[in-house]
């Protein structure tokens, strides 16, 4: 039975639920190519057997404990050169949804952050990620598949720095995944509307307010060398700008690693 129907205008309003599938992004991409689906359609899986993350990494999550899903969006081709603003808008929307949920159900907001390029952090530890895949047809931006994985109820994370809402809040009862789904659908819809309206300065301001390690000195690694730097922001091309001792440099996602204390 599919109980995933968000109280939105279009994002997450219509959906398909699967008990198990290899990857919601792969399924969404295939069905978006071959079926006439409305913008905002969502695919949710109780268990992904081959979930994918950034840099070709796998996304491992315990069955039926977390929120693993993909949305279909159809950005206008005129915004093609603003692709990373779509990424920023989606991250903003997810955090807005999580913050609204925490205020409504827990009576306070927590330290949700965006770790460049596409991770969702809770109090300095990863609780989720985003994977956006685009399709182009006849030279036009046809659609985007927005893959999202959020750790909600999982309690154990082997060999990774991970947390979940339930683990962090030390809740006895499980959190309803449908509830989180509705909140993030609402958040994404509002933020995506800002993108469609070309409100890029607003998107940027919100994004940088929530950017992990922004304006803090920390340790990074690039070209097999560790260095101390301070994140200044993320530019229109999606490059991370870091202040070093005598200069400011920009990095692509494959060029830089965040170093965490042991």
- Tell me how crowded residue 220 is: count the other CB atoms within 10 A of its CB: 20
* Residues 65-113 pLDDT 10s: 999 999 999 999 999 999 999 999 999 999 999 999 999 999 999 999 9
Residues 192 and 73: beta-carbon distance below 8 Å: yes
Q: What is the DSSP string of 175-243?
A: PPHHHHHHHHHHHHHHHHHHHHTT-HHHHHHHHHHTBTTBT-EEEEEETTEEEEEEEEEE-TTSPEEEE
Length of the chain, in residues: 262
Q: Which residue has the tokens 């750790």?
A: 151
**pLDDT class for 54, splitting at 50, 70, 90?**
very low
Mean pLDDT in residue range 22-33: 96
Distance CA 125, CA 240 (A): 19
Q: Which tokens go with 44? A: 């949710």
Distance CA 119, CA 149 (A): 9
Share of the chain above pLDDT 70, in %: 95
Predicted TM-score (pTM) of this structure: 0.94
**pLDDT class for 149, splitting at 50, 70, 90?**
very high
Mean pLDDT in residue range 39-48: 96
> Which of 46-60, 88-102, 120-134, 183-197 bottoms out in mean pLDDT, i.e. has the lowest?
46-60
How far CA 214 is from CA of 122, 125, 243, in Å, comes to: 15, 15, 11
pLDDT at residue 226 tops 90: yes
What backbone torsions phi and psi does residue 4 show, to the nearest 5 degrees?
A: -95, 95
- pLDDT, residue 55, reads 47
């Amino acid at each position: 039975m599919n109980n995933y129907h968000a109280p939105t205008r279009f994002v997450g309003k219509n959906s398909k639920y699967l008990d198990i599938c290899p990857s919601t992004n792969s399924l969404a991409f295939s069905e978006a190519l071959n079926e006439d689906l409305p913008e905002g359609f969502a695919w949710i899986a109780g268990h992904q057997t081959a979930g994918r993350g950034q840099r070709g990494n796998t996304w491992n999550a315990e069955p039926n404990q977390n929120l693993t899903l993909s949305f279909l969006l159809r950005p206008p081709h005129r915004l093609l050169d603003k692709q990373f603003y779509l990424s920023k808008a989606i991250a903003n929307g997810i955090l807005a949804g999580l913050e609204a949920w925490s205020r409504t159900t827990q009576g306070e907001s927590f330290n949700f952050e965006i770790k460049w390029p596409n991770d969702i952090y809770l109090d300095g530890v990863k609780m989720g990620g985003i994977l956006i895949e685009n399709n182009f047809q006849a030279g036009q931006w046809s659609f985007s598949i927005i893959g999202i994985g959020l750790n909600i109820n999982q309690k154990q994370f082997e060999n990774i720095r991970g947390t979940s809402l339930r683990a962090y809040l030390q809740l006895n009862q499980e959190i309803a995944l449908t509830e989180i789904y509705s909140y993030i659908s609402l958040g994404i819809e509002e933020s995506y509307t800002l993108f469609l309206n070309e409100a890029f300065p607003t998107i940027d301001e919100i994004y940088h307010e929530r950017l992990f390690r922004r304006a803090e000195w920390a340790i990074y690694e690039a070209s097999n060398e560790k260095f101390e730097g301070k994140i200044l922001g993320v530019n229109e091309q999606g490059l991370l700008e870091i202040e070093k001792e005598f200069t400011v440099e920009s990095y692509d996602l494959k060029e830089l690693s965040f170093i965490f204390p042991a």
